[in-house]
Structure 1
Amino acid sequence: MLKETRRTLREKEIWLKRRLGQNQVIDTSVLRKMVEYAELTKNDVVLEIGAGAGNLTAMLADVAGTVIAVERDKKLIDILGENLRGRTNVKIILGDVLRMELPIFNKIVSNLPFSISSEITFKLLGLNFGLAVLMFQKEFAERLVAQPSSENYGRLTVNIYYRAKVELLDEVPPSAFFPPPKVSAAIVRLRPRQPPFAVKDEKLFSNVVRALFQHRNQLVRNALLHSFSEIFPESKMTRAEARTFIDTALPGKLLKARVIELAPEDFGEITNSLTSP
């Protein structure tokens, strides 16, 4: 597949840019795994983001009912059209997935641009679908499934956990791509779900998670006090009043815990305890 991909790109005078995440998967076994992990049938409408030269698109079209292939590079769109000629179940769309309204789909299978993985993931989690198989930079993927107290545990982990079940399935070496990136990648399966714990105010939850992880090694009491104005930007409380409010609102076991040690559910409990002052 590498030879065919390189030849096609050379003939069209297309030079893929690593900085834009234009790394095409050229390892057939990796592509096959991504398709298998998606559990596709002819009833599925699959979204592929960053279809590139169509290596994954063609495999998806073999087993899915419909494939919606989105690509922002006009030159690559032309190659897609040629490589997928005759496949009536593929719809090719020129556009930026972050700025466009997407058609209806129920599954996603994509090799995502590493530089905008977070933005794309959170946009997708705001849509209605059942399953996604996504290629991420390995470090990003590890942050999605990190455990409390670990180096990779952070804001991303908690926010994703609240919205989806995530499985890290396979590590993928740079040699599986053309051009090869400087880092390894990983295949992740993501299933949106109802939140596993109740949050009364999701905006406040987002503020609390963001603010606390700015002080990840501090005690919760101190971290909340340092970020109080960020969590409650409209509050007129003095520092002393804010301290009293925090000490009164939260149980001691949470006040004395370190932010990095909190489970995602703890962030929900903290949020629900902090009614707007």
Structure 2
Amino acid sequence: MSAPHDQHFLTDPDAIRKIAHFSDIKDQTVLEIGPGKGALTKELLERGAKVIAIEIDPKMIEILGSRFADEIDSGRLNLLNEDAVRCDYPDFDIVIANLPYSASSKITFRLLEHGFKEAVLMYQKEFALRMMALPGTSNCGRLSVMVQTYAKVMPLLNLPPEAFSPPPAVDSMVVRITMKEELTYPVDDPEFYSILVRELFSHRRKTLKKSLKSSRSVIGEKRYERIVSMLPDEMLKKRAEELSLKDFSNISNIATK
């Protein structure tokens, strides 16, 4: 098991209380990733949630096990000494977590693949803003497109470094992520869609035509030929950051029909 990703503990009691109250969690199974010493865990349990906490640090697991012995015995808290980037996620309804910033992207993608009713997650503010960046703007990236394809994101709370111990060097933001019941722009092959978005943004300074050519071994020769032959020249001259969600969906669906 690898070392802990980050060690910035949220200590502001008002912020902890607000985060735990953003969702209706009574009698719900809540997944918490990176509980640390259990400040948020305590609030979630007090609000009537059943909590599954994934914590990579064995020292924190020991602290949590001692602090919440009664809740563990009663089955209201399940501690998993695992790496949330790699482990299988158990079934849950809602995820509420102060994510380790160095693993935010990987964990977010994994949560989207797993699916959930709702997520209240804390990120580095810059990361959260990129997640919400509109397709077609310069701040848009793979993260923006993948999250907004499958979910809606709403900012909830800004937090300064002083809300943590030790204080990080960045501001933080809590957001609510709600999975879309029906996609605005349907995706025929989600696996290929993910590959396509990743590849196009890995060559984001190139035009779509050149980007696809650089990625033809990854997306497949037949799919490459199909996309290039069916897209208008005007579209092929655009860059990934200039494409809309509808564009990404259309390109992917053209390739997989």
TM-score by length of 2: 0.87
User: Does structure 1 residue 175 correspond to structure 2 residue 162?
Assistant: yes
Query: Which residue of the partner structure matches residue 153 of structure 2?
Result: 166
Matched to 2:5, the amino acid is L
**Distance in 2 (alpha carbons) for counterparts of 1:68 and 1:210:** 31
**Distance in 2 (alpha carbons) for counterparts of 1:259 and 1:97:** 30
Query: Which residue of the partner structure matches residue 24 of structure 1?
Result: 9
Matched to 1:196, the amino acid is T
**Distance in 1 (alpha carbons) for counterparts of 2:113 and 2:48:** 23
Q: Which structure 2 residues correspond to residues 127-206 of structure 1 after superposition, within 5 A?
A: 127-193=114-180, 194-206=182-194
User: Does structure 1 residue 251 correspond to structure 2 residue 219?
Assistant: no
**Distance in 2 (alpha carbons) for counterparts of 1:252 and 1:273:** 15
In the superposition, relative to structure 1, how do residues 71 and 275 fare at CA in structure 2: closer, same or farther (>3 Å)? closer
Query: Which residue of the partner structure matches residue 53 of structure 1?
Result: 37
Match of 1:100 among 69, 81, 87: 87
**Distance in 2 (alpha carbons) for counterparts of 1:236 and 1:272:** 13
Query: Which residue of the partner structure matches residue 211 of structure 2?
Result: 223
* Aligned 8 A contact 1:155 1:213 in 2: yes
Deviations 1:57-92 (A, max 9, x none): 000001133111222212112211232243342222
Displacement of 1:252 in angstroms is: 4.2
Displacement of 1:200 in angstroms is: 2.3
Moved beyond 6 Å, runs of 4+: none
Displacement of 1:164 in angstroms is: 1.6
Q: Give the RMSD, CA atoms, in angstroms.
A: 2.4
**Distance in 1 (alpha carbons) for counterparts of 2:215 and 2:90:** 40
Displacement of 1:56 in angstroms is: 0.4
Which one is further off, 132-141 or 119-128?
Answer: 119-128
User: Does structure 1 residue 70 correspond to structure 2 residue 54?
Assistant: yes
In the superposition, relative to structure 1, how do residues 128 and 154 fare at CA in structure 2: closer, same or farther (>3 Å)? closer
Which one is further off, 170-179 or 266-275?
Answer: 266-275
* Aligned 8 A contact 1:46 1:64 in 2: no
Paired residues in the alignment total 251
TM-score by length of 1: 0.81
* Aligned 8 A contact 2:85 2:103 in 1: no
**Distance in 1 (alpha carbons) for counterparts of 2:55 and 2:117:** 22
Query: Which residue of the partner structure matches residue 260 of structure 1?
Result: 241
Displacement of 1:236 in angstroms is: 8.2
Match of 2:66 among 78, 82, 99: 82
Q: Which structure 2 residues correspond to residues 106-121 of structure 1 after superposition, within 5 A?
A: 106-121=93-108
Matched to 2:207, the amino acid is L
Displacement of 1:36 in angstroms is: 1.5
Instruction: State the SS of the aligned residue for 2:70.
Output: coil
Instruction: State the SS of the aligned residue for 1:47.
Output: strand
Query: Which residue of the partner structure matches residue 255 of structure 2?
Result: 274
Instruction: State the SS of the aligned residue for 1:126.
Output: helix
Matched to 1:214, the amino acid is S
Instruction: State the SS of the aligned residue for 1:125.
Output: helix
In the superposition, relative to structure 1, how do residues 220 and 55 fare at CA in structure 2: closer, same or farther (>3 Å)? same
Residue segments in structure 1 that go unaligned for 5+ positions in a row: 1-16
Structure with max Cα Rg: 1
